[in-house]
Structure 1
Amino acid sequence: MSMTATHFTPALILRELGKLSTADMEGVLHKLQMLAATKKGALKADEARLLEIINETLPADQRTAYRRLSLKRKNESLTPSDHRELLRLSDAVELLHAKRMQSLVKLAALRKISLPDLMEQLGLKSLATHA
């Protein structure tokens, strides 16, 4: 059976959101906040797009694999196949970080504030843990 938007009640949406991991829930929350701000006119489209990039993460399955392989690396138990996969995922994380930094710099310029001030406004203490 095909569901249309009219079948999605706030209660149903919240029940389904409750099934997500904490990290996925936080990602949805960021996107909802941006959507609400855009609808209210508080965010311009270019700012909203930059914030989407800033908040982008690896998909949940890739984050889980990355953490699992990082732990295996720390324990020195990586197989050659694990090592290749960890390198691939590390490249993806680095690409996300590079895009995030570019977007943060652009957003700071749009808002005419310093990068540290923008990061404080956004509640970003460090980019290193935002994979």
Structure 2
Amino acid sequence: MTASHLTPALILRELGKMNVSDMEGVLHKLQRLSATKKGALKANEARLLETINATLPVDERAAYRRLATRRKNGTLTPAEHRELLRLSDAVETLNARRMQSVVKLAALRKTTVPELMERLGLESLASHA
């Protein structure tokens, strides 16, 4: 018999044929397996939440805002422009990773991305520079 042919009803029927001691041993192993899977799920969710909440370091966020303001004012030097491009790329990378993690977390929690974003209080992923 292969795993693809196993159903919960078939498994329970076979368990019913076991003696109590063997059944309790299987139950104990199932409880450990369940706890392990739940722990792995929680660890995976924690990693995804960490990515969702990631931002640039404080000094880079400040530099990004300062340079973006200078760009709007038309006072950006070529060196500052290169630095702004580098920081913009970093922000875009964070946002791409964040969105991937939101999608994965929504799937894990069996919900939609908009519902998850609302539950997490994520108004817009673009605002997390």
**TM alignment of 1:2-17, pairs within 5 A:** none
Measured after TM superposition, the shift of residue 101 of structure 1 is 0.3
Give distance in 2, aligned partners of 1:125 and 1:80: 34
1:28-61 Cα distance to aligned partner (Å, 9 max, x none): xxxxxxxxxxxxx8x7000000000000000000
Give distance in 1, aligned partners of 2:125 and 2:99: 9
The answer to whether structure 1 residue 53 and structure 2 residue 51 are counterparts is: yes
The answer to whether structure 1 residue 76 and structure 2 residue 74 are counterparts is: yes
Give distance in 1, aligned partners of 2:47 and 2:124: 21
Give distance in 2, aligned partners of 1:126 and 1:91: 18
Say what the alpha-carbon RMSD is for the aligned residues.
1.1
The one-letter amino acid paired with 1:127 is: L
Which of 86, 109, 127 is the matching residue for 1:111?
A: 109
Q: Could you list the runs of 5+ residues in structure 1 that have no partner in the other structure?
A: 1-40
Give 3-state SS (helix, strand or coil) of 2:127's partner.
coil
The TM-score normalised by the length of structure 1 is: 0.67
Give distance in 2, aligned partners of 1:129 and 1:97: 9
Measured after TM superposition, the shift of residue 73 of structure 1 is 0.3
Give distance in 2, aligned partners of 1:128 and 1:99: 12
1:53-87 Cα distance to aligned partner (Å, 9 max, x none): 00000000000000000000000100000000000
Q: Where does structure 1 differ by over 4 angstroms across 4 or more consecutive aligned residues?
A: none
Which of 62, 65, 77 is the matching residue for 2:63?
A: 65
Give 3-state SS (helix, strand or coil) of 1:93's partner.
helix
Give distance in 2, aligned partners of 1:71 and 1:129: 16
When Rg is computed on C-alpha atoms for both structures, the one with the higher figure is 2
The TM-score normalised by the length of structure 2 is: 0.68
The one of the two structures with greater contact order (alpha-carbon pairs below 8 A, sep at least 6) is 2
Measured after TM superposition, the shift of residue 128 of structure 1 is 1.3
Measured after TM superposition, the shift of residue 105 of structure 1 is 0.2
Larger fraction in helix: 2
**How many positions carry a matched residue from both structures?**
90
The one-letter amino acid paired with 1:83 is: H
The answer to whether structure 1 residue 129 and structure 2 residue 127 are counterparts is: yes
Q: Could you list the runs of 5+ residues in structure 2 that have no partner in the other structure?
A: 1-38
